[in-house]
């Protein structure tokens, strides 16, 4: 329990890896839940530091905090703790939460570019939800089929509006079973990428994957890195590799992930039912 009026001093960031810190250390950041989130965030950043050091990596991957199941109030706390990227996997929940958070943060989350909160949609997406997601998210990590891409092209932001950065979700199981768990067959990447790159209002960000449940994560992430290198031969700007969750972020850091999606180890266990 923190009883001192001074906030605990944050760990000094190592110079080469600008580790994000709290932007508001005032009264509001001192409630017990904020302290818990701050401690969990620090522990995750320590793991990232160690995973980077282990492979001699200098470029720090971006942490996306996955807030699914948790309330808008936690997103606001995270924003005060310096988090600028959050992830959600269900449109209905995310749309309501994004609206609630915007109402609480007001211009504080939009006036200055560094304060803007970015919503990443990371879940399987039905085509009829494309328009809704574009309303609040600026990154979509789960483009995995032609029918969804058609809907995105139709709903795409207009010139002058914020473009939607699209990542192609890859199914790393080999061979790819057709059980609808989400993710494109690697053979489909080139075609999806070409169509995203050609679509006004959409930007090709790169690749995303979830490690297969049945197999170790490291070889899967190594393969994802190879697929990313192949993609970049045609689309050099598509540098994002979104991989790594609470249980396997070290393997993802070791294999070049640029974006980590961490939920449980920051927010705590999710309830079993929504």
Ligand X SMILES: *Cc1c(COP(=O)(O)O)cnc(C)c1O
Query: Which positions lie near ligand X, rule CB under 6 A?
Result: 66, 68, 89, 122-123, 210, 245-247, 261-265
Cβ 247 to ligand X, closest distance in Å?
6
Helix 91-105 / helix 72-80 crossing angle, nearest 10 deg? 50
Please give the Cα distance from 141 to 23 (Å, whole number). 27
Query: For ligand X, which is the closer residue by CB, 223 or 264?
Result: 264
Residue nearest to ligand X according to CB distances in the complex = 263
Cβ 256 to ligand X, closest distance in Å?
17
Cβ 111 to ligand X, closest distance in Å?
30
Query: For ligand X, which is the closer residue by CB, 25 or 123?
Result: 123
Which letter does DSSP use for residue 117 in this model?
Answer: P
Query: For ligand X, which is the closer residue by CB, 134 or 262?
Result: 262
Q: Which distant-in-sequence residues (6+ apart) come within 8 Å of 24 by Cβ?
A: 80, 81
Helix 146-155 / helix 189-198 crossing angle, nearest 10 deg? 10
- Phi and psi for 85 in degrees, rounded to 5? -135, 120
Nearest to 251 by CA among 196, 212, 203: 212
Q: How many residues does the chain have?
A: 274
SS3 state at 84: coil
Cβ 200 to ligand X, closest distance in Å?
27
Q: Are 205 and 166 in contact (CB under 8 A)?
A: yes
Query: For ligand X, which is the closer residue by CB, 36 or 265?
Result: 265
Query: For ligand X, which is the closer residue by CB, 12 or 271?
Result: 271
**One-letter-per-residue 3-state SS of 183-229:** CECHHHHHHHHHHHHHCCCEEEEEEECCCCCCCCHHHHHHHHHHHHH
Cβ 3 to ligand X, closest distance in Å?
31
Query: For ligand X, which is the closer residue by CB, 93 or 265?
Result: 265
Cβ 245 to ligand X, closest distance in Å?
4
CA distances (Å), 80 to each of 132, 162, 199, in order?
26, 24, 35
Query: For ligand X, which is the closer residue by CB, 25 or 169?
Result: 169
Cβ 52 to ligand X, closest distance in Å?
18
Helix (H) or strand (E) holding 99: helix 91-105
């Amino acid at each position: 329990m923190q009883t001192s009026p001074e906030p605990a001093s944050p760990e000094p960031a190592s110079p080469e890896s600008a580790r994000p810190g709290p932007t508001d250390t005032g009264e509001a950041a001192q409630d017990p839940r904020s302290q818990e989130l701050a401690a969990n965030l620090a522990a995750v950043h320590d793991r990232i530091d160690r995973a980077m050091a282990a492979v001699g990596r200098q470029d720090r991957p971006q942490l996306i905090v996955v807030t699914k199941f948790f309330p808008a109030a936690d997103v606001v706390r995270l924003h005060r703790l310096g988090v600028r990227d959050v992830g959600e996997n269900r449109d209905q929940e995310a749309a309501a939460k994004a609206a609630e958070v915007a109402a609480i943060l007001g211009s504080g989350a939009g006036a200055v570019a560094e304060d803007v909160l970015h919503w990443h949609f990371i879940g399987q997406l039905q085509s009829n939800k494309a328009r809704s997601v574009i309303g609040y998210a600026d990154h979509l990590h789960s483009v995995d089929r032609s029918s969804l891409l058609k809907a995105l092209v139709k709903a795409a932001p207009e010139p002058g509006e914020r473009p939607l950065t699209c990542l192609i979700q890859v199914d790393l199981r080999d061979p790819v079973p057709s059980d609808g768990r989400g993710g494109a067959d690697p053979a489909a990447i080139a075609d999806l990428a070409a169509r995203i790159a050609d679509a006004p209002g959409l930007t090709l960000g790169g690749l995303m994957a979830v490690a297969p449940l049945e197999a170790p994560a490291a070889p899967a992430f190594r393969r994802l890195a190879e697929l990313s290198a192949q993609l970049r031969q045609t689309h050099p700007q598509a540098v994002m590799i979104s991989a790594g969750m609470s249980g396997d972020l070290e393997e993802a850091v070791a294999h070049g992930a640029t974006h980590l999606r961490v939920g449980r180890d920051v927010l705590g266990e999710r309830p079993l039912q929504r």
